[in-house]
Structure 1
Amino acid sequence: MIKIGTLTCLHANNVCARVGCLKAFQNRSAFFEGYSSDTFLGAMMTCNGCKSANPKEPDVDEGILEKIDRLVSEEIKVMHVGACRLDGKKKECPRITRICEMLEDRGIQVVRGTHRE
């Protein structure tokens, strides 16, 4: 069994119920193809907001650091990052990019995608 999780944008909470991500996981479709039936969705994480709402960068954000520590302690092996990581110009949010780097530094594989947009 492998434990995986999802990472999404805090602001996506305004319009997203995670239905697409969960449906893709349950059906093992899109970016979840190839996972065995005993794969466990063990975490659903958000960033802690944009600079205008949260002035702390991820590297010094105690909340982000605690979340990543928890992922490690729960033995989450892969984090899938939702489409909400992209702005209107299809450019990845720099905070999400940094969080992904921090996850990889802690040994967690990052997959950029959950369901098809």
Structure 2
Amino acid sequence: MEKIGIINCFEVSQRCSGGGCTRAFNQRTGAFEAYGQEDEMTFFVHCNGCSEESVQQVLDRAAEMKGSGVTAIHLSTCIRARCPWYDEFMNELSKDFKVEGYSHGKKK
């Protein structure tokens, strides 16, 4: 069984309920097509906003997820579209997790 965490953008979370990410997971669409029904989303968190500490803050959240058994992290589609640290997140998180760089919509 795969345990999955999603990290979304703090700025976007001020006006987004996370419904697109959650729906994609529940319906196994978008970035979640390869998962089985036994796989579960165990974390849905946001970054702490844009700052010099953004990468470290996301890595701290990821460490908490790892301690709870998360093996895969999805960066939300809004992070892919808006975040200046997207590539750094992908590089750093992929050292400890299976990482997908979006949640719903089309893979680029």
Give the TM bin, normalised by the shorter chain.
0.7 to 0.9
2:48–2:54 contact (8 Å) kept in structure 1: no
Using the alignment, how far apart are the partners of 1:99 and 1:45 within structure 2? 14
Q: Map residues 43-54 of structure 1 onto 2, 5 A cutoff.
A: 43-51=43-51
Of residues 62, 84, 89, the one that matches 2:78 is 84
Tell me the CA shift for residue 57 of structure 1: 4.6
Task: Look up the match of 1:4.
Answer: 4
Task: Look up the match of 1:113.
Answer: 102
TM-score w.r.t. the length of structure 1 is 0.78
2:43–2:65 contact (8 Å) kept in structure 1: yes
Using the alignment, how far apart are the partners of 1:37 and 1:113 within structure 2? 20
Using the alignment, how far apart are the partners of 1:4 and 1:42 within structure 2? 6
Q: Which has the larger radius of gyration?
A: 1
| RMSD, aligned α-carbons | 1.8
Task: Look up the match of 1:56.
Answer: 53
1:47–1:96 contact (8 Å) kept in structure 2: no
Percent of aligned pairs sharing the same letter: 25
Task: Look up the match of 2:85.
Answer: 95
Tell me the CA shift for residue 100 of structure 1: 2.7
TM-score w.r.t. the length of structure 2 is 0.84
Unaligned 5+ runs, structure 2: none
Using the alignment, how far apart are the partners of 1:57 and 1:30 within structure 2? 26
